[in-house]
Chain A
Amino acid sequence: MEESNIILFLGRFHPLLVHLPIGFLLFAAVIEITERFKITKGLKNAVPFSLLLGTLSAVAASILGLMLATSGDYNHEALDNHKWAGIATTFIALFAYLLSLDLSIFKAIKQKLYLVIVTIMVVGLSVTGHMGGNLTHGEDYLTHYMPFKKQKEDPLKRPEVTDIAQVEYFADVVHPIIKAKCFSCHNASKMKGQLSFESIETYVKGGKHGSTIVPGDADSSEIMVRVNLEESDKLFMPPKGKTPLTDEEKGILQAWINQAKADYEVKVVDIKPNDETLALVSGYLKLDGHASGDMVHFNEVSRAQIVALQNEGFTIRELASGSYAYDVVLPSGEGSKENIKEKLDALSKIQDNILWLSLENSGLSDEGLKMISNFKNVQLLSIPKNDISDNGIKALSTLKALKSLNVYSTNVDYEGVSSLLALPELKKIYVWKTGLDQKEITLLEEKHSDLKIVSGI
């Protein structure tokens, strides 16, 4: 969905181009020094030219920088500082260039000012460059591998998770939120309100109010009370000027305290999360595609396989982008008694990836149903208007994920439907124009209270 954007395209050349003014301007400064100390001779003439090139390239770099800034990807405050420092440095460089030209109007001030200006220019250049580097690479990039640095290891740090089944609720979700939003004031060295989120012990201990986190009761947990106050409230956390928690983050903390009883070891899946909690967590961790609680994993299917099936007449739709879970439809009438076996053979290559399958009026027979009985992840199966009977339907009892079965206008009868009642997820069976009568339907529904059997008008 990304459109081309000429502004941003050009803007991204900013990090490349900035090195030109840095080079030219520093070069001018270096010549000034080496000439003064007589290390070099006769290079002085190059100074104005070098300053000119530096100024021009600084102007170009500034313009590209402003273009890049339109992306909005950067921290506002840091960006602002870098922007104004850059613009100021550009003007200082221009001034230095004009001074270096020996123009008569500057005669009076040149002697005193020139060296000062060049010095300011070098300082400005360094500061701007450093701020730019921080913007691009992050604050701790430069000092990350610094020897003898005071090591600040987070004892709760975890490797990155990619699979919702592995997610530990506290360590992977709750703590990173706290770390991002609360930790700067509540850590071992800066324990505001005597509260630290340094380790599990300090979490449990809480702050001076004691009841920071009350397992099972978010409403009496001080942490939830404080983040949910009006933003204007004096007691609102995080305090003014810091980024408040988002609704999603609050929801995650709330569910952790209430549903997970503030357990520090539990995995998210072990608390049997509802869809909402699961969506919050997978949304926060950016685990796409499995946001609606279907924890089935699917193997990759190649584009060529999909094209081959499309050429067989199947309509294939990926249910969620990047999930490799598919909704497969054979349009009514595309299949026939003669070719359905062939088509199902082709389809069986992606059989574990099919969640929704519709084969209306496709010449499907009991034999074909035996093949479908291997499509183990199918949740919605729609096979109306086919010559299928109880014998074939019985084979479907292997489809443990099946939620809904549509067999309207087929020869299916009481016996076939009853053979499926043990399926754990099955909620609906559509049996209009089959052998089942109302009495049998009532009987089946009584046996299986979760199940709705839908007949016709």
Chain B
Amino acid sequence: MCDNHEHSKLTSNSKDLQQVEKQLDRRHFLKNASLGIGAMALGSLLNSEKMYAAMAGGKSKDQAILDAYNSSRSGFPNHLPKAKRIIYLFQSGGPSQMDLFDYKPKLTDMFGKELPKSVIGGQRLTGMSGSQSTLPVAPSKFSFKQYGECRAWVSEIMPYTAEVVDDLCFVKSMQTDQINHTPAITFMQTGHQLPGRPSIGSWLSYGLGSDNANLPTFITLVSKNGKGQPLKASLWGNGFLPTEHQGVQFRSGKDPVLYLSDPENYDGHDRRNMLDYLNHLNDLQNDAYGDPEIEARMTQYEMAFKMQTSVPEVTDISDEPDYIFDLYGKDSRDPGTYAANCLMARKLLEKGVKFVQLYHQGWDQHTNCPGGVKSQAQKTDQATAALIKDLKQRGMLEDTLVVWGGEFGRTVYSQGLLTPENYGRDHHPKAFTMWMAGAGVKPGFTLGETDDFSYNVVRDPVHVHDFHATLLHLMGVDHEKLTYKFQGRRFRLTDVHGHVVKDILS
């Protein structure tokens, strides 16, 4: 259709318009030739030609797209990685560590007693429980047992996770700086409490690039059967990194990615032509303005084109055998649930997606903690364990890292009325539990310890920054070297902090 325009300058047939174009050219020349701007424009000009140059060099189109995407990737990984991909099961809301994994038997005798001031240590509590006249100790209502060869303690409400403890590496000494949801989640995902920094997955996409021209490097899934504090796109946003590194959210429902299917009465037969022509137009714009967003958009159009076939294929879980659905639980047949998302995440990882960020909301038990935690566990426990087992039997746990955890922990004291049957728990940033499993971390291992109240960390504290540094380390990236200069300063995921937690590395 537009073959005659390919690689030639786009010009008009009308004489008058040609005249105007000439004038524009001269103005252009003067603008670009002026000091500084000329030099900068030259840089971006070379960049935009990269893709076509690569294709001319004998590469396939896919490879050329990948190379354009990966152009920022030089010098990474810094060392041989242990993990090839990550799936992060984010338990949003702040799961109650002492009702799930952090077993505190001594609390039973302290039921209803005032939490000692020495334990709180002058910490400022939230406005939700800080004004309570009493802070009574609320021991967990659930019974704990030891499981596996590693004898890890797990609560009765996590029977499936209990089966896989020998594959898990618990960190019971997590600490964060933030006490409320939005800053805490933002902190956990981007290393800073204010929105605007790139998410972990974006940093990895930027540093390590993509190996797959058909699917995004960084995909986000939010389960539909968890309700709670809202999540927002900045959590998987690219911040100041080039736009193509942002996480792509797969929605729960009929269309995981909106607008991928062809509109009515159009079969898409000439879309390739259309895109090629559009690329050409965008290239002209890019020559004129050198705006990196134009390049990002071109990369994204190509990706979307690929996703028209790859996404329906990967999100279709109908060909999974029954025993797999049985493994993940009955929810897994209902698209958009946590269980179905876990299953889909496995498929995405199999297809070469580097970072899958899964969110499940609803772990925010200010009131009715026992009931709430139990219902949350019912929605997630089986599928979480199933994912571990499934990855393991496919040999994928060898090079996949699984991360489970929320943005903070919960208080040992009851928020609101404490009864033998019921209690609530407030946010607690000073100690919480996470676990990892798979590539590069010790299986059946527990790092860190909290005091008898699960309130303060007494051994091997791991700060959020340390956690980030460790994640990057496992992917072969030195967290001090992965930087991006923005507004005059070089930024890192770990800012100016973070130490790799060597004790958990296998």
A residues near B, CB below 8 A? Answer: 1, 3-4, 6, 9, 275-276, 279, 288-289, 291-292, 294, 307, 310-311, 315, 317, 319-323, 325, 327, 329, 331-332, 355-356, 380, 382, 384, 404, 406, 408, 428, 430, 432, 454-457
Contacts and interface: CB of A to CB of B under 8 A. Distances in A.
Given A307-B58, A307-B59, A430-B395, A321 B74 contact: yes
B76 interface: yes
B398 A6 contact: no
B352 interface: yes
Contact of B476 (A276, A319, A382, A430): A319
A21 to B, nearest CB: 22
A294 to B, nearest CB: 6
B240 to A, nearest CB: 12
Contacts of B78: 288, 291, 320-321
Contacts of A382: 395, 398
Interface string B207-243: 0000110000000000000000000000000000000
B395 A406 contact: yes
Interface stretch (B1-9, B79-87, B279-287, B415-423): B79-87
B40 A6 contact: yes
25 contacts: A1-B74, A1-B483, A6-B39, A275-B505, A276-B502, A289-B79, A291-B78, A291-B80, A292-B79, A292-B80, A307-B59, A310-B59, A315-B212, A317-B211, A319-B77, A319-B81, A320-B476, A321-B74, A321-B78, A404-B395, A406-B398, A408-B395, A430-B398, A454-B393, A457-B323
Contact of B393 (A279, A315, A432): A432
**Secondary structure at chain B's binding surface: helix, strand, loop or mixed?**
loop
Contacts of B63: 307, 310-311
B36 interface: yes
A306 to B, nearest CB: 10
A292 B483 CA distance: 21
Contact of A1 (B75, B77, B505): B75
Contacts of A432: 393-394
**Residue from A276, A310, A332, A355 having most chain B Cβ neighbours under 10 A:** A310
A386 to B, nearest CB: 13
Nearest to B212: A315
Contacts of B485: 3
Contacts of B75: 1, 321-322
Contacts of A319: 77, 80-81, 476
Nearest to A279: B79
Contact of B57 (A6, A276, A307, A384): A307
Nearest to A327: B84
A117 B79 CA distance: 58
Contacts of B72: 1
Given A311-B59, A311-B60, A319-B476, A329 B80 contact: no
Contact of A325 (B80, B390, B394, B505): B80
B398 A404 contact: yes
Interface string B47-90: 00000000001111001000000001011111111001000000
Which range contains the number of B residues in contact with the other chain? 35 or more
A87 B60 CA distance: 57
A291 B79 contact: yes
A315 B352 contact: yes
Contacts of A4: 39-40, 43
Interface in B360-415: 389-390, 392-395, 398-399
Contacts of A322: 75
A454 B60 CA distance: 38
Contacts of B392: 454
Nearest to A404: B398
Nearest to A428: B398
Contacts of A1: 72, 74-75, 483
Given A1-B75, A307-B63, A320 B80 contact: yes
* 9 closest A-B pairs by CB: A406-B395, A430-B395, A291-B79, A456-B393, A432-B393, A292-B80, A292-B79, A315-B211, A321-B75
B352 A294 contact: no
Contacts of B483: 1
B327 interface: yes
A311 B66 CA distance: 13
Contact of B39 (A9, A275, A408): A9
A6 B393 contact: no
B350 interface: yes
Contacts of A275: 505
Contacts of A292: 79-80
Given A288-B78, A408-B394, A329 B43 contact: no
A21 B432 CA distance: 64
Contacts of A325: 80
Contacts of A310: 59-60, 63
Contacts of A315: 211-212, 352
Interface in B448-506: 476, 483, 485, 502, 505
